[in-house]
Amino acid sequence: MSTVERFIVVVLFEGVDLLDVTGPPEVFSLVQRETDDATGYRVVLAAATTDPVTTSAGVRILPDLTFGEAAARRIDTLLVPGAVEVDSRRRVHPLTDPAVVAWVRTLAGNARRVASVCVGAHILAAAGLLDGRRATTHWSTAQQLAADHPEIEVDADPIFIREGNVWTGAGISACLDLSLALVAEDFGETVALRVARQLVMYLKRPSGQSQFSVPLEPVSTTRRIEELRLHITRNLAGPLTVADLAAHAHVGERQLTRIFKAELGMTPSAYVESARVERARHQLEATDATLDRIASGCGFGTTDTLVRAFRRTLDTTPTEYRLRFRTVPG
């Protein structure tokens, strides 16, 4: 195994999200303990000056060196966390200080790879580092990233995306998944999984894992759609066709489809499939049920239908998912 020290620079600035800064170093620090590598990673925090930086949590962090000093070094990985401000209407706005953006652009030119954490993607975008690339960020700011930078293919669903030597991660705990993926690239999957176990993350999530779970989707503003969501959850093993749902809601099928698209951003059939996949995920994680039993109990009917739904929504198979996320003894 290589004994080359990997020099990682984490960008600091006023108001930066604390977990974005501290999460990845926790992952990197465990690599040396889990391998025979004598060096592993060296993580430093860089800012405009070496004065303390106050994070969004109010915790002050002391930089190790200045941006200028970091620019004089050969950087293995440049890690760019994010920060937001919330206005009086509780709307979230990513912070992209022009001075920080300029330094990120400079530092990236001397780095083997660049990674953003959460809304740090907006800083990479402002620096021109995501032009022509596919990227992700925290779901709450994905639309703004796409609107501000039409040259970027924004995908709000995956927990992280790699495009060449540029990585973007979703928020906020997904910084751990992104960091584990970087470890896997450097040291292999086995080491990454050992680190994941030390972090009590069970198993490392694949990049195709969605940021969303069905219960966490935005809540509807109408009682009718909320009642339908509850009805779907309670009757996943049933047919739940558009006609069935329309009859239950006492509306026409076309009107039902319009309601779902307006309230939830998807068709009734897509929502039902998402709910069934969510139920199947929980059963794969926490039970010994066979795939046939899960497929039947979640309304898929056949194992083949279950497999196709998992490939379509999670880019994996039920068997692969169970191997990664199983939380009961095998």
DSSP string, 128-178: TTTTTSEE---GGGHHHHHHH-TTSEE-SSBSEEEETTEEEE-SSTHHHHH
Helix axes 268-286, 318-325, angle to 10 degrees: 50
- Strand segments (E) across the chain: 6-11, 41-47, 53-54, 60-61, 65-66, 75-80, 84-86, 92-94, 111-116, 134-135, 153-154, 160-163, 166-169
Q: What angle do CA 23, 25, 29 make, to 5 degrees?
A: 125
Between strands 41-47 and 6-11, the pairing is parallel
DSSP string, 37-54: -S--EEEEEEESSSS-EE
- What CA–CA distance (Å, rounded) separates 71 from 125? 20
DSSP string, 224-238: HHHHHHHHHHHTTTS
User: Which pLDDT score is estimated for 216?
Assistant: 42
User: Which pLDDT score is estimated for 266?
Assistant: 87
Q: What is the pTM of this model?
A: 0.66
User: Which pLDDT score is estimated for 173?
Assistant: 75
- What CA–CA distance (Å, rounded) separates 206 from 194? 15
Q: Which residues pair with 42 in a beta bridge?
A: 7
DSSP class of residue 203 equals S
Are residues 21 and 10 in contact, defined by beta-carbon separation less than 8 angstroms? yes
- Cα-based distances in Å from 212 to 96, 116, 233, 270: 26, 19, 16, 14
Per-residue pLDDT tens listing for the chain (330 residues): 445 679 999 999 999 999 999 999 999 999 888 876 556 899 999 999 999 999 999 999 999 999 999 999 999 999 999 999 988 877 889 999 999 999 999 999 999 999 999 999 999 999 999 999 999 999 889 999 999 999 999 988 788 899 999 999 987 677 888 998 899 889 887 788 788 878 866 444 554 455 545 544 444 446 778 788 889 999 999 999 999 999 998 899 999 999 888 888 889 999 999 999 989 988 998 888 999 999 999 999 999 999 999 998 888 899 988 887 765 554
Which amino acid, one-letter code, is at 166? V
Coil/strand/helix, residue 78: strand
| Domains contained in the chain, CATH given | 6-198 (3.40.50.880), 214-325 (1.10.10.60)
The answer for residues whose C-beta is within 8 angstroms of residue 24's C-beta and 6 or more apart is 8, 10, 43, 79, 117, 175, 176, 178, 179
- What CA–CA distance (Å, rounded) separates 204 from 320? 12
User: Which pLDDT score is estimated for 174?
Assistant: 79
Which amino acid, one-letter code, is at 138? H
Coil/strand/helix, residue 316: coil
Rg (the chain; Cα; Å): 22
Give the phi and the psi of residue 283 in degrees, each rounded to 5.
-70, -35
